[in-house]
Structure 1
Amino acid sequence: MSSQNDPNSSILTLDITGMTCASCVGRVEKALDRIPGVEAASVNLATEQAKVRLKANSETMLAGVIAAVQKTGYEAKLSTPHGNTQTKQSHSFWGSDGLARVLLSFTLSAPLFLPMFLMPFGIHWALSPKWQILLATPVQFILGWRFYKAGFKSLLAGAGNMDLLVALGTSAAYGLSVYQMIASPHASHELYFEGSTVIICMVLLGKWLEARAKQQTSEAIRALQKLWPENAKVLNPNVAIGEGTFLEQYHELPLDQVFPKDRILVLPGERIPVDGVIVFGNSHIDESLLTGESEPVKKLLGTKVIGGSLNGEGVLVIDAHAVGVESVLSQIITLVEDAQTQKAPIQKLVDRVSEIFVPSVIAIAIITGIANWFYLDSASIAILRAVSVLVIACPCALGLATPAAIMAGTGVAARFGILIKDPQVLELAHRLNIVAFDKTGTLTIGKPRVLAFIPVTDVSEENILLATAAGLQMGSEHPLAKALLDAAKDAGVKPIPPSDSQAIAGIGITGKPNSGPWAGQNIALQSVASLTGTGSWAEISSKVQPLLDAGQTVSILMNQELPPSPLAIIAFGDELKPNAKDAIHSLHQLHIRTVMLSGDNSAAANRVGQSIGIDKVFGQIMPSNKAEIILKLQTSSKEHPRQYVAMVGDGINDAPALATADVGMAMSTGTDVAMQAAGITLMRGDPSLVADAIDISKRTWKKIQQNLFWAFAFNSTGIPLAALGYLSPMLAGSAMALSSFCVLSNALLLKRWRPSHR
């Protein structure tokens, strides 16, 4: 994704102020979609942000996008990188959603509504009409001015919103009271100033509670942002770090002035400011807020560290590799922000409803007023019931139901090392009934070692064969390549570099050694599966089969010159991850079938699968076939309905399968390509996180459903009750504010979630 804060990038992230309900969101989105250069736009009420994707080679400028938002009655500005860590002014004590306005409105309104609580005790007391209008007017037109302003802007934009409903409702109650006061100057009990003021009080209280709850839903983002230290101790370039004096030879620089290859000094108890590699010292590092790993991790010389993690007891010098937006922490924050800004597909239903909601409510209120006036012959009662309909129907809860749950769910998941970057995952996770695992690096540690090196040729010098095989793997990052290079290093053998080296996907690698007995000849290191059925296989099968039966991965060093002949057999072994068996058991408890995909010989793959309880194993699979198997697993038939499949992998060759699966999960210990293709990234290479990721996704989806049900149920039951006179304007205002608070509180219950494996 392009930089979100560069006006020339394809993605713009805007902070939108003034939105109050789902209708506001729909209006802003429509305005953005109508801009010629805009390809797509998504607006989120809970985060108060809009993401705008511009078409390729679009000439649309930032100013034009902001102007389009302003025409709809709202303010917009380019979002700062990763949002604003400070509390917004509108949410401060004196801000438009601040506590000061709530307290002042209740203080002025108390003398108006308190007499209602005395009536059950036989005390009939009320302020004189003059005092009532004196107290109600500042609440109506000063503290409530925001509703008039926003409502008027929505009218100019040709649509309505929550503010318009509040402004119409309270103005009707206030206007009726003024009329009654003029018509009957001494009839203080026939006035309804308390109705208009209490509505404003409750709406202001609701907005304040919403603001507080929204801040809590985004706590995960702020917690991640706070992990960045403001400065870094950059060592002077000429300092020799082996000498004790280097501890004093540094200068502190702001983090944005640190560059790759700088050497950073990190003292005990300090946060590591950049991603890099330890070049001096060792320590225990707390990465819990980044990966969810509960225990500090031992870090030695040459190991990688993540910026934002907390240094333990040791003094470290780190060679900076990634800083700023390139760092892992920045990428985590971006993924979480994107997930919280995007919309779940179910939100489309809410958007369609909100388009016609406010106009429909106004129509219902008018019909309510006319019908009650006709049947009850009382203009005051008709107006009050119409006011109740207007107030209780405010669609705040409807607009917050989905984004609040997504923010809370993705936020708490990120705290424990589960990055959900695609909200569509939340709708699919509860349907999953199959999880397919790649083997190497996912269920196994991914650090195989050479267990056997068996020469087949007449050449008696094993070291020459090892040097030839290791030379073919020079520069490769594949786990088997590293194992072979490590074996050569341990044996004191220098790899023979090849020329014309070429990797063949799913088979192996070929090249021409520059020296040795096979100099200039085509030599290949390839999988056993690629030799099945050939004459070479008949020659070596008796030696290979025992290794395969023992569950080992076998490669063959081949001389490709005609006729092809095997030179050596190399057997590799890889340990299972400690939690692999528990991870499979957890998925079975969720009634999810498990599948393993492996390029190993079927016998070896089956041995691994049986040891941890995998339901079905696919062995001897080429990387290109993994996506095909995922499709077959998904395919429905008369006997088997459509299956929903998750794929878990970590390598480049897993990317097509990750993209094909309904839900792709990538281990962050793997490649960036795999993580980009997946909807969920697991920040620890722990397979037990798979069940936890499915669990939090299901819980988040349930909260979305619950919130939408209660939001729709509240309006569908509240409007008829208000129209029939069972809800006074004051109760309607209280219930409306309470509905939004309940939806947000229900979403915040997700913050109590904890993974079952920690």
Structure 2
Amino acid sequence: MPSLTTFALPISGMTCASCAGRVERALAKVAEVGTVSVNLASEQARIEAPADSLERLVRAVESAGYQVPSTRLELALSGMTCASCAGRIERALAQQPGVLSVSVNLASERAQLQVVRDLDPQTLLSAVQQAGYGASLVDAAHPAQAGAERQLRRERWALGLAMLLTLPLVVPMLVEPFGLHWMLPAWLQFTLATPVQFVFGARFYRAAWNALRAGAGNMDQLVAIGTSAAYGLSLYQWAVTPAGEMAHLYFEASAVIIALILLGKYLESSAKRQTSSAIRALQALRPERALRLQGGTEQWVALGELQLGDCIVVKPGERFPVDGVVQEGQSHADEALISGESLPQPKQPGDPVTAGSINGEGRLLVETTALGTETVLARIIRLVEDAQAAKAPIQKLVDKVSRIFVPSVLLIALATLLGWLLAGAGIETVLLNAVAVLVIACPCALGLATPTAIMAGTGVAARHGILIKDAEALEVAHAVNLVAFDKTGTLTSGSPRIAHMQAVDGDTTQLLQLAGALQRGSEHPLAKAVLDQCAADNLTLAEVSHSKALAGRGIAGQIDGRELALGNKRLLEEHWLQNQTLIAEALAWEAEGRTLSWLAELAPQPQVLGLFAFGDTLKDGAEQAIAALTAQGIDSHLISGDNKGSVHAVAQALGITVAHAEVLPANKAAIISELKKTSVVAMVGDGINDAPALAAADVGIAMGSGTDVAMHAAGITLMRGDPRLVADALDISKRTYSKIRQNLFWAFAYNLIGIPLAAAGLLNPMLAGAAMALSSVSVVSNALLLKTWKPRAHK
């Protein structure tokens, strides 16, 4: 009979004693349940049951027709150093009564929990602390960015000082092959190595102790054991060597290992800071205040003071603070960062607006329809948080192996010690052979295998415009067989251009001149497209008088006594204008997803003069990018928030067979999740609307020409915004991951060969140290071969 835990479950929906009886009977049927007592007055059930039976108890309550109310908690964690730390915290929290589900995110240092209502959070904090880590409720802890930067600076200083102390110990070893013997005095080696070992290496001892308390093994234990063995052996050799003779010391081995692994830890910390900044960048889009109109008076208020139905004023150029519906005014809204739509959208009474998007040229009154966590932007933030909290498909190989490797090495060292004692060897021989086992097993090459390959691979990639943010992206990218692209700003320029124009009288040059004259001085994206085309054609533009913006419709002005206007279909309808000869072209261009602008004469002779169709243009290299992926056997999909016409036109031009149009941010992530069921998926995007999909994909690839949010949410960033770099990013990732696997093979091969030799007394500690150094040299040399890599376009 397993040990029983007392659960106190809140239960909702009970109305009478018979309800309590039904719940009690349902709970009693759960396997291995002890006593059950249901109190109708307090709406609570007390159950004695095994600790792992909570899920079954909740299902029993639900099967009886009632509910166990739950709530979501988030904890801020500290002290984690590797994936196994996250696993230990997760197991510690999952064992607490009342925890329905738990997910620990190493990158954001957060734990997301679903717990039964009224669970005391202090029990969760205590569980984390007992596991050897720090924890606090996110509501009560708001770590400032400045604090994180200070911590990173402290780590940088510690790394620099550790390197400075280690360098004099390494130089004699490096020059010895050239016949130079610069051995430092033992006391000086001791003075340099001791602070590295016990001051800068203290973090490894703490983490190793935490793992030991949890009954697990990790890389920190390997570092602590190996460096302590080398350091301790040096002290012993120093103590027993007669005065005047040179002792065989290994202080440099312990110091080098700690300094180099501190470098890897610093790089890991930097990556984690960048990952968590994605959420901060999203949150920065929300204004802190809103201008509320109440009783005819405008007043700035905090967002927390707003209520549903409040009327707020949004001035030109401001961000919408809430989701709502336009009540008064006409304008355009730049929703590119939210919906993926490249062109500003006209807004008039009755149209919805989204928090975070930018108001254009008109003053709008907006009725609030969603606040706080219910806005579209807040949901995007939650999607990114949830996607980032999801488990990586591949766990850290070194952490897995170390669970077996550490106790195995200790057992072999102990067996060596006892074996030589039983064989009658002297105490010095026994000790040296046992320590030789620990020295040869010292995880220098094992610790260098991953960071050196990552440093070399990411370094050469960065020189060619590819930023690989973390090792997790490398672990997954080598297996990618499907790439999903956003359209606007990724495969297309994101800036509208004149795709077609038609004049009623056939004179497109004069049509363009008149349109350019009207648009001169305007900052609207469509105006810029017209003016760019005028500049390209070297056209002279006439002077305009009485120019005025027509909010939500276009622009008007007088040229040579004629009143002209350029705008959308609503402009024509207001003036009862139409032209049958252009209807066919308009319908065809709209089917391609083009945005139309009509040029009309309003006076003295009202008439339609011509039609412009605006559209996005393909980026240079977009076709080659898709072709390169196809050549590698990688499928390409197109997922965009734009209209069907423009999306399918781009897909057809690039040879992409699967295209999804008019996709909202939440649905982008859902499509990626569906694709992941059968493929390893990379998502390529550049906007806020892509952030959830970037985080949900196995590998997120952001265009550097896009938003900071997209780059923070992605594991790989293409700094030049060149789509051809997507295939190159996957290629360097494959090569880097291959180097990591090769390095790990060599690191373990040295141990598999060296440990038996050391146990047999055929490898003294000095040779063991040399073999360990050789393993490090081979690992680093192999990693440096990545520096010869070049993108395909440069070959």
Please give the TM-score of this superposition, normalised by the length of structure 2. Answer: 0.52
Matches within 5 A, 1:592-607: none
Preserved contact between residue 29 and residue 42 of structure 1 (Cα < 8 Å): yes
Indicate which of 301, 317, 328 corresponds to 2:376.
328
- The superposition leaves residues 448-489 of structure 1 with CA deviations (integer Å, 9 ceiling, x where unpaired) of xxxxxxxxxxxxxxxxxxxxxxxxxxxxxxxxxxxxxxxxxx
Preserved contact between residue 22 and residue 395 of structure 1 (Cα < 8 Å): no
Change (3 A) 1:128 1:700: closer
Q: Which amino acid aligns with 1:715?
A: L
Matches within 5 A, 1:359-374: 359-364=404-409, 367=412
Give the structure, 1 or 2, with the largest relative contact order (CA under 8 Å, sep 6 or more). Answer: 1
Deviation, 1:83, is: 8.0
- The superposition leaves residues 728-752 of structure 1 with CA deviations (integer Å, 9 ceiling, x where unpaired) of 6567789999999999x9xxx99xx
SS in 2 for 1:190: coil
Tell me if 1:226 matches 2:284.
yes
Change (3 A) 1:430 1:659: closer
Change (3 A) 1:648 1:317: closer
Change (3 A) 1:47 1:118: same
- The superposition leaves residues 374-420 of structure 1 with CA deviations (integer Å, 9 ceiling, x where unpaired) of 89979658736633534247679889999xx9xxxxxxxxxxxxxxx
Q: Which amino acid aligns with 1:386?
A: L
Indicate which of 103, 107, 122 corresponds to 1:46.
107
Aligned to 1:430: 481
Tell me if 1:154 matches 2:202.
no
Q: Which amino acid aligns with 1:78?
A: L
Deviation, 1:163, is: 1.9
Deviation, 1:92, is: 2.0
Q: Which amino acid aligns with 1:341?
A: A
Preserved contact between residue 139 and residue 197 of structure 1 (Cα < 8 Å): yes
Matches within 5 A, 1:529-568: none
C-alpha distance in structure 2 between counterparts of 1:80 and 1:109, whole Å: 43
Aligned to 2:299: 250
Indicate which of 65, 77, 81 corresponds to 2:124.
65
Q: Which amino acid aligns with 2:376?
A: V
Matches within 5 A, 1:88-167: 89=148, 92-93=151-152, 95=154, 98-120=155-177, 122-167=179-224
- The superposition leaves residues 239-268 of structure 1 with CA deviations (integer Å, 9 ceiling, x where unpaired) of 27xxxxxxxx433x3333333333334444
Indicate which of 427, 438, 456 corresponds to 1:386.
438
Matches within 5 A, 1:701-720: 710-720=739-749
Deviation, 1:195, is: 1.6
C-alpha distance in structure 1 between counterparts of 2:321 and 2:777, whole Å: 48
Aligned to 1:275: 323
Aligned length: 537
Preserved contact between residue 222 and residue 402 of structure 2 (Cα < 8 Å): no
- The superposition leaves residues 197-240 of structure 1 with CA deviations (integer Å, 9 ceiling, x where unpaired) of 222211222211111122334443332222223x3242340227
Tell me if 1:194 matches 2:252.
yes
Deviation, 1:311, is: 4.2
- The superposition leaves residues 673-729 of structure 1 with CA deviations (integer Å, 9 ceiling, x where unpaired) of xx99x9899xxxxxxxxxx9x999999998987776555443232122355359765
Preserved contact between residue 152 and residue 269 of structure 2 (Cα < 8 Å): no
Q: Which amino acid aligns with 2:405?
A: S
Matches within 5 A, 1:317-716: 317-344=365-392, 346-347=393-394, 350=395, 354-355=399-400, 357-364=402-409, 367=412, 383=435, 386-387=438-439, 389-392=441-444, 430=481, 575=591, 577-578=593-594, 710-716=739-745
Of 722-731 and 260-269, more deviation after overlay is shown by 722-731
C-alpha distance in structure 2 between counterparts of 1:696 and 1:255, whole Å: 42
Deviation, 1:189, is: 5.6
SS in 1 for 2:441: helix
Q: Which amino acid aligns with 2:443?
A: V
Change (3 A) 1:314 1:706: farther
Of 139-148 and 39-48, more deviation after overlay is shown by 39-48
Preserved contact between residue 75 and residue 138 of structure 2 (Cα < 8 Å): yes
Q: Which amino acid aligns with 2:356?
A: G
SS in 2 for 1:159: coil
- The superposition leaves residues 116-146 of structure 1 with CA deviations (integer Å, 9 ceiling, x where unpaired) of 3443554433432223222322222222222
Change (3 A) 1:163 1:574: same
Indicate which of 5, 9, 15 corresponds to 2:76.
15
Indicate which of 219, 238, 244 corresponds to 2:295.
238
Change (3 A) 1:337 1:388: farther
Deviation, 1:79, is: 3.2
Aligned to 1:300: 347
> What's the Cα RMSD here?
6.5
Change (3 A) 1:338 1:721: same
- The superposition leaves residues 481-504 of structure 1 with CA deviations (integer Å, 9 ceiling, x where unpaired) of xxxxxxxxx9xxxxxxxxxxxxxx
Aligned to 1:451: none
Q: Which amino acid aligns with 2:108?
A: T
SS in 2 for 1:261: coil
Deviation, 1:305, is: 2.9
In structure 1, list runs of 5 or more residues that go unmatched: 1-6, 241-248, 406-424, 434-489, 491-549, 551-572, 596-604, 615-643, 666-674, 682-691, 751-758
Deviation, 1:102, is: 1.1
SS in 2 for 1:259: coil
C-alpha distance in structure 2 between counterparts of 1:648 and 1:81, whole Å: 42
C-alpha distance in structure 1 between counterparts of 2:139 and 2:782, whole Å: 32
Preserved contact between residue 319 and residue 355 of structure 2 (Cα < 8 Å): yes
Tell me if 1:721 matches 2:750.
yes
Residue identity (%): 34
SS in 2 for 1:721: helix
Please give the TM-score of this superposition, normalised by the length of structure 1. Answer: 0.54
SS in 2 for 1:92: helix
- The superposition leaves residues 30-72 of structure 1 with CA deviations (integer Å, 9 ceiling, x where unpaired) of 3333334334333333333333334xx5775432333332232
- The superposition leaves residues 618-662 of structure 1 with CA deviations (integer Å, 9 ceiling, x where unpaired) of xxxxxxxxxxxxxxxxxxxxxxxxxx99987869xx99x979965
Preserved contact between residue 22 and residue 396 of structure 1 (Cα < 8 Å): no
Deviation, 1:157, is: 1.6
SS in 2 for 1:152: helix
C-alpha distance in structure 2 between counterparts of 1:399 and 1:43, whole Å: 24
C-alpha distance in structure 1 between counterparts of 2:437 and 2:413, whole Å: 7
Preserved contact between residue 102 and residue 201 of structure 1 (Cα < 8 Å): yes
Deviation, 1:428, is: 11
Deviation, 1:308, is: 2.3
C-alpha distance in structure 1 between counterparts of 2:216 and 2:265, whole Å: 21
Q: Which amino acid aligns with 1:147?
A: F
C-alpha distance in structure 1 between counterparts of 2:746 and 2:365, whole Å: 64
Preserved contact between residue 21 and residue 399 of structure 1 (Cα < 8 Å): no
C-alpha distance in structure 2 between counterparts of 1:287 and 1:188, whole Å: 74
- The superposition leaves residues 126-175 of structure 1 with CA deviations (integer Å, 9 ceiling, x where unpaired) of 43222322232222222222221221122122112222221111111111
